[in-house]
Structure 1
Amino acid sequence: MGEKSRQLGSRVSRVTGILRTEGPRALAQRLARYTYNELGAASLGEPLLDDDIADSTELNLELPDRRPPRSRPLRIGWVIVPPSAGSGGHTTLFRMVEALERAGHQCELFLYDRYGGQLSSHERVIRDWWPNIRANVRDATGGITDVDACVASGWDTAHVLARRSPSPMRRLYFIQDYEPYFYAHGSLYSLAEDSYRFGFRMIALGEMVAGLLRSEIGLSPDVTEFGCDTSVYRLLAERDRSGVVLFARPEVPRRGYPLARLALGRFHELHPEVTIHLYGSEVRGLAFPATQHGRLTPTELNELYNSSIAGLAMSFTNISLVAEEMLAAGAIPVVNDSVNSRADLVNTNVTWATPTPQGIAAALGAVVTRSDVSAAARRAAESVRQFGWTKAQADVVRIVEDEVYGP
């Protein structure tokens, strides 16, 4: 037998072995991984085209030579990436857009799609999921023009704003997380970090982000604080609570899905009588039974929280909005303990867990077996700040107006 025949026989044997021991799904996954590597598909994870990468050491961005009178409404641009239905980060940003519109200013959304998707399709998602937004939707690759100021919404859009705003304008940066932490310490980490050196006026959402901008970059941003939409997330009429719930985002490493999955497996072994609910992404290959709800509207999600004793609110960078939304609905959030998470979630009703499978499982178990479930739910809901997002919205309006009109 020749060498090629031996190699072919070996490959067939490996494929047969995988099929027999792990099944067709595992084989398909390995073939997909092999194809992914052979085609160099990892480059598709780079959120910017090469020509849209800015360099802080070379920037010389023009500012207007005069300020408009405060009697004239402003034209404010916002650079965004395409939103998925119900995206939490976009929801927070669009609250700020709404606030500027209510203040009488005209807003423009400049959408950057690194993959060249149809603008009309992205606009349809925006109109369907955020119907209160009146802003026009424009293609950022056509240039960011005809605005008094423009706000970047993430590190990639900060690069786009730096590269595609040829005319003089004021530039700001609404920062919801310390985004270098989204990546391993390498190229994307450095590009994300460099976006904070572009000279834009920075608005940090929360003390975790602000603290890292001070300690890691040496800059002092404007700071506003998290809110919670208590018009949606709130206690409903008294009902029986049972089960635990997880916001599943396997594709987002900072949301800790692999650790949550392992923890829920341990939790099920200890408490097989407790129903486990998942929402968000549909997941497969679970080693425990779970009710999967897929994507839920905020109202549907509030219903689920109101029927649950506890929820897993995992985040390894800035705290997830999910934790306070759970509290408002009376579900006790179990959160992986970290300095970053505690910086903006100061609430004695939160259960902090050692970020290991057993640590999280034990914390969940302690919550579901307590004797005062109904009373704990009421205390949790009453502990949530009732001003919602109004303070953050007022701060952003003030800061944007201050930047353009002058202090």
Structure 2
Amino acid sequence: MTPRRRRRGLIERVRHRTPRYLAQFAALRLVHLLGARELEFPLLPDDLADSQSLPPFSPPAAPGRPLRIGWLTIPPGPGSGGHTTQFRMMQAAERAGMRNTLLLYDRHAGDLADRIDTIRTSWPWLSADIRPVPPEIRGFDALVATSWPTAHVLARRGREGQRAYFIQDYEPYFSPRGAEYALAEDTYRFGFRNIALGQMVRDCLRDEAGVGSDLVPFGCDTEVYALQEHGQRRRGVVLYARQGTDRRGFTLAMRALEVFHGRLPSEPIHVYGDALSDAPFPVVSHGNLTPSELNDLYSTVTAGLALSFTNISLVAEEMLAAGVVPVVNDSALARADMPNPHVAWALPTPHALADALVAAVARPDLDAHAAEVAQSVIGRSWHETEQQVVRILADTITPSPHSTG
């Protein structure tokens, strides 16, 4: 083929593409050519640990002062549900007289002041000191990993203190079967005291990784998320958009909403979280919302998509608290910690999910049903979870005579 014909062919292929598509395609090609996907790996090479060859550490003597706890975490973005839950546990420890430090692990050494500002702005109630993870972590009575990368960092850099692992999901499932899957799964064998949030995590640790754990229950924030009356009929549906997190089913959700819009075009579709600029149907895009703003939005809609292909999303029960019917992909993993009868379970296909949304908005008794849905979670909170985590941490540092951890 001559250069002239190649140029004509290229022009023909791209002339009907949008500028956004062309920019995305060029960026994708550049990522491939430069091997930039290597930068997505969340750990520096020296921070990789191995359960078969762990560095030594020194457990401290029982202190005669307030306990000092270091919590290792990846820097969060605004609205991160997993970080919100972790920070709740930290505040409970603070109320119990413990002294907390949040140790940020940033593989790419981003601007620390910017990271701290995000945390202080998004979680202004968090009172812990915030520091970067040092090359050697000392001066703590206990250190807590909160994700598989931070478990590796703790194993490699933690030099003293008892070690615990607050586990909110079975994180090997975040990756295809391969190296990252194996590295994530190995963290559960590091010998830390595993604290499993919910039945699904406890069962997967036992059945998949062959390790035990302390079970603490899922909670729900029913102080912020609650039924509100606006004097107007509820209309439409809502989606929490997480485009870069495949286990939250964004691509599937968008196709389901497209089918839903084709069947009920007058029903509004609200999206929060990631901003959408090119949806194939009309959307009301809200971007990131504070919890109180989100509860206000929930009070106006009938149903929402709360997809999760590992542990159940916190979004599902928060929707229930506000009177919204959560439509969730039917899965034994998601069902393990969500026995509520008002969840609309559906096969994870576009049409099955759209059917569940249509059924929810087509009810003749929307307001009465919203009140019934909200009533089903009254009394739920994070209090029991917080108290159990605090007890486990205290027992890890100063074991009781009957401790099994």
TM-score tier by shorter-chain length is over 0.9
> Runs of 4 or more off by more than 6 Å in structure 1?
none
Match of 2:388 in 1: 395
Instruction: Please give the alpha-carbon distance, in whole angstroms, between the structure 1 residues aligned to 2:331 and 2:101.
Output: 37
Where do 5+ consecutive residues of structure 2 fail to align? Answer: 401-405
Q: In the alignment, is the contact (CA less than 8 A) between 1:334 and 1:352 conserved in 2?
A: yes
Check if 1:355 corresponds to 2:348: yes
Where do 5+ consecutive residues of structure 1 fail to align? Answer: none
Instruction: Please give the alpha-carbon distance, in whole angstroms, between the structure 2 residues aligned to 1:299 and 1:307.
Output: 13
Check if 1:28 corresponds to 2:36: no
Check if 1:209 corresponds to 2:204: no
Match of 2:357 in 1: 364
Q: Which runs of structure 2 are paired with 1:85-100 in the superposition (5 Å)?
A: 85-100=78-93
Distance 1:392 1:385, change over 3 A: farther
Check if 1:68 corresponds to 2:60: no
Match of 1:285 in 2: 278
1:10 Cα offset (Å): 5.2
Match of 2:34 in 1: 39
Q: In the alignment, is the contact (CA less than 8 A) between 2:309 and 2:333 conserved in 1?
A: yes
Check if 1:110 corresponds to 2:103: yes
Q: Which runs of structure 2 are paired with 1:188-203 in the superposition (5 Å)?
A: 188-203=180-195
Instruction: Please give the alpha-carbon distance, in whole angstroms, between the structure 2 residues aligned to 1:319 and 1:61.
Output: 36
Q: What whole-Å deviation, never above 9, does each CA across 1:34-61 have from its counterpart, x for those lacking one?
A: 1110011111110001111111110143
Match of 2:317 in 1: 324
1:28 Cα offset (Å): 1.8
SS of the aligned residue for 1:21 comes to coil
Q: Which runs of structure 2 are paired with 1:233-244 in the superposition (5 Å)?
A: 233-239=225-231, 240-244=233-237
Q: What whole-Å deviation, never above 9, does each CA across 1:252-306 have from its counterpart, x for those lacking one?
A: 1100000000000111111111110000001233111111000011011001100
1:386 Cα offset (Å): 1.7
Q: In the alignment, is the contact (CA less than 8 A) between 1:228 and 1:385 conserved in 2?
A: no
1:242 Cα offset (Å): 0.4
Which of 140, 144, 150 in structure 1 is aligned with 2:133?
140
Instruction: Please give the alpha-carbon distance, in whole angstroms, between the structure 2 residues aligned to 1:136 and 1:209.
Output: 29
Which of 221, 235, 248 in structure 1 is aligned with 2:213?
221
Instruction: Please give the alpha-carbon distance, in whole angstroms, between the structure 2 residues aligned to 1:354 and 1:138.
Output: 44
Distance 1:9 1:192, change over 3 A: farther
SS of the aligned residue for 2:15 comes to helix
Instruction: Please give the alpha-carbon distance, in whole angstroms, between the structure 2 residues aligned to 1:29 and 1:153.
Output: 33
Q: In the alignment, is the contact (CA less than 8 A) between 2:260 and 2:358 conserved in 1?
A: yes
SS of the aligned residue for 1:22 comes to coil
Q: Which runs of structure 2 are paired with 1:272-351 in the superposition (5 Å)?
A: 272-351=265-344
Check if 1:58 corresponds to 2:53: yes
Distance 1:44 1:160, change over 3 A: same
1:11 Cα offset (Å): 4.8
Q: Structure 1 length as normaliser, TM-score?
A: 0.95
1:228 Cα offset (Å): 1.0
Q: What whole-Å deviation, never above 9, does each CA across 1:227-262 have from its counterpart, x for those lacking one?
A: 111110001125320010000111111000000000
Q: Structure 2 length as normaliser, TM-score?
A: 0.96
Instruction: Please give the alpha-carbon distance, in whole angstroms, between the structure 1 residues aligned to 2:393 and 2:378.
Output: 25
SS of the aligned residue for 2:287 comes to coil
Q: What whole-Å deviation, never above 9, does each CA across 1:38-96 have from its counterpart, x for those lacking one?
A: 01111111000111111111014324263335xx3100000011111121111000000
Q: In the alignment, is the contact (CA less than 8 A) between 2:303 and 2:324 conserved in 1?
A: yes
Q: What whole-Å deviation, never above 9, does each CA across 1:294-335 have from its counterpart, x for those lacking one?
A: 001101100110000000001100000000000000011000
